[in-house]
Structure 1
Amino acid sequence: MIGDAGLNGHTAIVTGGYSGIGLEAIRALAGAGANVIVPARDVEKAAGALHKMERVELETLALTDTASMASFAERVVSAGRTVSILINSAGIMATPLTRYADGHEGQFATNHLGHFQFTLALWAGAQGGGRIGTELPRAQRRAPRIRSARGYGSE
């Protein structure tokens, strides 16, 4: 259990759930009784990391492809599943410059726009007080702070 809350009967979705913090989140959620869906771009790699885990399902998803996100959300919602927990943990960092079909830079598209669009696509399935968490890459915590033209702003 996580704290005093058992998660039997709840559905959780964890992007990036086959490595790092996402994998640990899956272990905790499944250990507390949740059914965990792991959407993955690299399904083969994800299957290797998740092959012996109970209450874990693997799905295909690309956070840079709007159609992929819509299809995933449609499968979840049309199956009548209520999403109780969504953890946006997938991310890429320090990759070569890549632009996707919509013209957005790859890291920004994956780490920010993709999670935003994915969350919106799943919104219909997050009934009954679902929770959403987003894990940002560590490098963004060290990014230079931006000052406004007047000399004050986020610091």
Structure 2
Amino acid sequence: MKTKTVIQEYEVRWSLHGEPPQGLPRVLASELIEAPATAGARPGELRRLYQRTLRELPRGYSLCWNRHKPPPKRWSQEARAKARRAALQRRAQARYPLFADQIIERELTDRPDYYAGVKDTAFQEEADRQTERLYQALREGRLGLHVFRPWWPAEVAA
């Protein structure tokens, strides 16, 4: 049986309010690691590099960790509408059995978009696209350490 994997992301990121000083980028370095879904944070190269060069790091930057799970399967608009109407029917019949038909009719009239399954999913879709890009990088073998701007002197990095 194949174990589920997630992508763990380490970043040396600006963590204070406002912009980083002296035109430094918000993210100095990033590392993506493939890990079993049941595992906690795995130490990577970036974490070791951060610990070795902590005194050299500009103030305001910190090591951040994030876990990216595969995007979930989303319901279609039709499935969402069917489930919402069924829940309305069930609630109305349970609470007001004599007036259930009137309550259902009133709800369908008052909130037609909701019971048609309409939902603003732009934010979710963008998040799913970003996560899918990470998993595409995993499939193509492009995970690993990326340093966008070195912050350490030459003798420390060796």
Q: TM-score, normalised by structure 2?
A: 0.21
Query: Which structure is larger by alpha-carbon Rg, 1 or 2?
Result: 2
The structure carrying a bigger helix percent of its residues is 2
- Structure of greater relative contact order (alpha carbons < 8 Å, 6+ residues apart): 2
